[in-house]
Chains A and B, each alone.
Chain A
């Protein structure tokens, strides 16, 4: 029975589409950018995101409604992204050393690759999307859940 499962996971590979390098790169960049987000919430700090601590959440929401026209509206109109601010700085024209030159260069050590399902060191790559896996069980899980999801 184990043999059957193994062959089905790998035989299917011949019939699946393979993502090209540009798409893989785009997926990676999307994942990395998702890691950089701030998770900033007004009124957060202690307590859960959905309020089960009743009293605090009620007062925050009523305050928010009152101030919505002034505070939030102002922020929505004049909010600038980090990338916009960075472009505005025009750092390529400024003298070194500056924000861009201070970025750490790429590592000289080879990257260590981990299975995207269980997190242990991996030895094999998924043929369609390039994700790493460590065993055929992890490959099955990967195929069923994450393989071609969120593809551009």
Chain B
């Protein structure tokens, strides 16, 4: 018995290969292939049974999807995909550090760690830019990050502000990176992909665009139930920034409510756990005997990916 998640609008060639791997190579008795956002939506509806619609924002490694759900069914016309994900943010950070400070183009894992430790979403972008341009003690945005050398320092860490030396070099021999505007300019790409040249809307605009494309009477329901899932949501300050940006895009009479679970990464997994225990589970799954008799058609019809 397995539940496995897939991206939205996954290619049929990949879906068929998945079926073959699950049933023929691993010989699972039953399998469910589902979108990750559907599991999050199920989790949300189970925790708030009074709500009918919700909008799931799933921001992962490869891209970000904005998906409206109504009564546990995804509304395909409203799905929006932004091609900005953790992969893009890490690659961009690698490029700018390699150009400005130290060649790190091969150190994806280390820079990924830097991104997770040090980057945050700023609430006032231009003000933070001005602060980052100041010199010395006044620049509260700047941080030093100690890189691992795998002999004494196994894992990189951000130096606490008290230990930072603003002028001159450090006495100890460790390699450090000095990050100022990169700290908040990199996550800014989720909100404005045009910063880097990608001709797509950012997350707040895409949410507004997605809800606009749906019937008018559902708009308030969607704006009140926005669920944030995925790894990129771990940046501090994301929720507040998204709420502020949405508030300026959405008509004033509609209330906006953004929900960030305590663990955005595992939220959809927990949803999968709840789904496995729910009574409708057995009807959603495809059994191996079904697949062996009828082939890919049965999976294509049952799993609405």
Contact = CB atoms under 8 A, between A and B. Distances in A.
A83 B96 CA distance: 27
B200 A119 contact: no
Contact of B95 (A35, A53, A96, A99): A35
Using C-beta atoms within 8 Å of the partner chain, give the interface range for chain B.
Answer: 35 or more
Contacts, number: 124
A102 B181 CA distance: 32
Interface string B91-135: 110011001100000111110000000000000001001001100
A106 B99 CA distance: 28
A36 B88 contact: yes
Contacts of A19: none
A119 B181 contact: yes
A41 to B, nearest CB: 8
A34 to B, nearest CB: 7
A60 interface: no
Contacts of A53: 150
B82 interface: yes
Contacts of B199: 106-107
B126 A121 contact: yes
Interface in A18-52: 28, 31-32, 34-39, 44-50, 52
A39 to B, nearest CB: 4
Contact of B194 (A28, A46, A112): A112
B26 interface: no
A48 B110 contact: yes
A140 to B, nearest CB: 15
Contacts of A146: 99
A4 interface: no
Contact of A104 (B81, B88, B132): B81
A21 B9 CA distance: 35
A106 B202 CA distance: 9
A37 B197 CA distance: 16
B100 A117 contact: yes
A34 B107 CA distance: 15
A118 B199 CA distance: 23
Interface in A92-119: 96-99, 102-112, 114, 117-119
Interface of B: 8-9, 11-14, 65-66, 76-77, 79-83, 87-88, 91-92, 95-96, 99-100, 106-110, 126, 129, 132-133, 148, 150-151, 181-182, 185, 192-202, 205-206, 209
30 contacts: A32-B198, A35-B196, A36-B87, A38-B87, A39-B91, A45-B109, A48-B107, A48-B110, A50-B106, A52-B150, A85-B11, A86-B11, A99-B81, A102-B9, A102-B81, A103-B80, A103-B83, A104-B80, A104-B81, A104-B206, A105-B200, A106-B201, A107-B201, A109-B205, A111-B197, A114-B185, A117-B100, A118-B100, A119-B185, A120-B132
Interface of A: 28, 31-32, 34-39, 44-50, 52-53, 85-86, 88-89, 96-99, 102-112, 114, 117-121, 145-146
| 4 pairs of A and B residues whose beta carbons are closest in the complex | A111-B194, A99-B9, A39-B108, A106-B199
